[in-house]
Amino acid sequence: MTFTNTEEYDDPIIYDKENNGYRPELPFLLKWASKMKGTIIDLACGTGRLTIPMAESGYHLIGVDIHRGMLNEAKEKARIQNVSVKWIEQDGTNLELNVKSNFIFTVGNSFQHFLTNVDQDKLLSSVHKHLDNDGIFIFGTRFPSAEELLQPPTEEYWRTYIDKESNATVELFTISNYDALEQVQHYTTIRKYKNIDGELFKEKRTKISLRYVFPKEMERLLQSNGFEIVDIYSDWNETPVTNNSYEMVYVCKKI
């Protein structure tokens, strides 16, 4: 797999400013980690948003990502915080880690970055190969609701944050275009930087494409790749999935 769907991650510093404090998955993952022994693998770990706090909690982590810039940022953060993590630059569809684990997870909707059926199968095959028997694989993906997929292809406000370094107000907007044949949503994120007087002084656009998988489709996909679904939730607080869910969190066991 040649991964080119990386524009959203080309500036790890901006990524961390927008995401580093966002860790809704952490308590859930720590709960599962407490039941496991041995090495835990964070696949598509990015800048270590969850890898580092889990390692700080006393677990042995391997963080794997294909994006060198994100991994370098993760390494630097771990160094500054004096946290021990093994960082590996590899493609999730072709893992060769020379280790097996009882617990592998991939979060941040990373599963959706694998856009084709072939790449989804390769990813799951790689995970399966690196899990011990009865090992657990946890991942999240956005729920393919009509509201989520059928957004108008117009600029929609998302959220605002303050860049603490420059004191700029950053307003985020998105434009979405859904390809129903490929089940891929093409997103453009627009960042509008405003000074203290509210004047726009910079605008930055990035693009990303995300694959959506429907629940019954996912059930077949996981079963055909050697996984049993243990639980499905609509969030990291273990809320049951409904037709109004925003996300699907899968807990799977290798069979």
Structure token pair of residue 98: 């020379």
pLDDT at 45: 98
Dihedral, CA of residue 159, residue 28, residue 102 and residue 132, to nearest 10: -70
Residue identified by tokens 């948003």 is 49
pLDDT digits (tens, 9 = 90+) for 33-74: 999 999 999 999 999 999 999 999 999 999 999 999 999 999
Structure token pair of residue 244: 């109004």
Q: Indicate the angle between helix axes 215-224 and 117-130, nearest 10 degrees.
A: 50
As a whole number of angstroms, the distance between CA 120 and CA 111 comes to 8
- Three-state SS at 141: strand
From residue 130, alpha-carbon distances to 118, 178, 232 in Å are 19, 34, 22
Count the residues in the chain.
255
Q: Indicate the angle between helix axes 12-19 and 68-80, nearest 10 degrees.
A: 60
pLDDT digits (tens, 9 = 90+) for 64-118: 999 999 999 999 999 999 999 999 999 999 999 999 999 999 999 999 999 999 9
As a whole number of angstroms, the distance between CA 81 and CA 76 comes to 9
Please give the backbone phi and psi of residue 252, each rounded to the nearest 5 degrees, phi first: -125, 150
As a whole number of angstroms, the distance between CA 27 and CA 167 comes to 31
pLDDT band of 21, cuts 50, 70, 90? confident
Residues with Cβ within 8 Å of 250's Cβ and at least 6 positions away in sequence, in order, are 137, 138, 139, 140, 141, 218, 222, 229, 231, 232
**Residue 108 · residue 44 · CB < 8 Å:** yes
pLDDT at 3: 55
Within 113-171, residue ranges assigned H as helices are 117-130, 146-149
As a whole number of angstroms, the distance between CA 56 and CA 53 comes to 5
Exposed (0-12), middle (13-18) or buried (19+): which is 130, by Cβ within 10 Å?
A: buried
Residues with Cβ within 8 Å of 22's Cβ and at least 6 positions away in sequence, in order, are 49
Residue 159 is inside which H or E element, if any? strand 156-163
| pTM: predicted TM-score of the whole model, two decimal places | 0.93
As a whole number of angstroms, the distance between CA 172 and CA 41 comes to 32
The better pLDDT of the pair 19, 71 is held by 71
pLDDT digits (tens, 9 = 90+) for 117-141: 999 999 999 999 999 999 999 999 9
